[in-house]
Amino acid sequence: MTKLLDAQGLEILHEGHCTRLKWHRLRKRFADPLFSAEVMAEGFAAGASMELDLRVRADGGFVVLHDEDLEGETTGHGPIAEKRLGDLRDIRMQGGDRPLILSEDLAAMLQAAHPAALLQFDMKDDYEAIGAQGIAHLAVHFQEIAASVIVSAGSLDLIVAVKEKLPHLLRGIDPTDKLYGIRKAGGWKAVEIELRADLRGPTEPDTVYLHWPLILDAANEGFDMIALCQDEGKRVDAWTFTLKHPEVGFSEAEWRNFQALMALKPDQITTDEAPATERAWSRRMAG
């Protein structure tokens, strides 16, 4: 069991199963700045699993941002898809004089990663927006990067294109939005059929990203989505479980949900409060 003061926010061991804690949007703690290169470097040194979002630019490159427009996350203005590399060099992230992280920068940063570190590229645009130009850009800059990167998207066409151009990279799919719609229209059996088809489909994913309330709703109806994925040889990331009051730990409702989630043995849980979650779990398990 991890000592309370030693919590790094890397993983939780429970009943012989290791669940990694993934740092959402490059934040080890919610108080960390969004998409921080400093936190990413810390995660690389510690062997953390981390996630960043990528938005495609007009020149086919990418920038590490979540929203489709520059307003809100940065000092810039306008759609990212209309900007080229030179348009972004002088723009800064909101809160501190931090430059944007560009795809051209990431390959060099990854060279210093601990062998256990894993960086998720969560592609926020679909294949129609990214196109062959964007895939070619990834191939140029990440051809020599192996298991340190997993590329994920809701767009299955995009992941198939990544597989064809960069077969050595790990791949992830997130069918959550689709599955919510199928559940509403056709029930859990229809969800099971669709999920199984995605697992066996042409993306050949390593990891499936699923909203944790969807996982628990299914489990309450007798459908173990995590077990289905793992039986097909896939890992499951349950997103995004973040403590409302990390300095206090789990509320009773949070604890019930987190216990139920851990009982299903996910391979990874996405969180904005990784060390606090690890500490809170240790305190609860210690009684």
pLDDT in tens, 42-83: 999 999 999 999 999 999 999 999 999 999 999 999 999 999
How many whole angstroms separate alpha carbon 119 and alpha carbon 110? 9
Binning pLDDT at 50, 70 and 90, where does residue 122 land?
Answer: very high
Q: How confident is the model at residue 147 (pLDDT cuts 50, 70, 90)?
A: low
**Is 129 within the bounds of a domain?**
yes
- Domain membership flag for residue 95: yes
| Number of structural domains found in the chain | 1
d(C-alpha 64, C-alpha 193), whole Å: 34
**Is residue 113 pLDDT above 90, yes or no?**
no
Give domain status of residue 152, yes or no: yes
pTM over 0.85? The answer is yes
Q: Which domain holds residue 148?
A: 10-285
Mean pLDDT across the stretch 194-214? 98
HSE (CB half, 13 Å, CA atoms) of 2? 22
For position 267, which CATH number holds? 3.20.20.190
Please state the rounded mean pLDDT for residues 157-173. 95
Residue 126 in domain: yes
146 pLDDT tier (thresholds 50, 70, 90): low
From residue 20, alpha-carbon distances to 11, 236, 277 in Å are 4, 10, 11
Under the banding of pLDDT at 50, 70 and 90, the label for residue 88 is: very high
Q: Which residue matches tokens 């740092």?
A: 23
Q: Are strands 11-14 and 17-23 parallel, antiparallel or unpaired?
A: antiparallel
**In this model, does residue 111 exceed pLDDT 90?**
no
Predicted local confidence at residue 145, as pLDDT: 75
Measured CA to CA, the distance from residue 81 to residue 129 in angstroms comes to: 8
pLDDT at 1 over 50: no
Give me the chain's average pLDDT, please.
95
Structural contact between residues 215 and 239, judged by C-beta atoms closer than 8 angstroms: no
In a domain, 5, yes or no: no
Query: Would 163 be classed as within a structural domain?
Result: yes
Residue 139 lies in a domain: yes
4: in domain: no
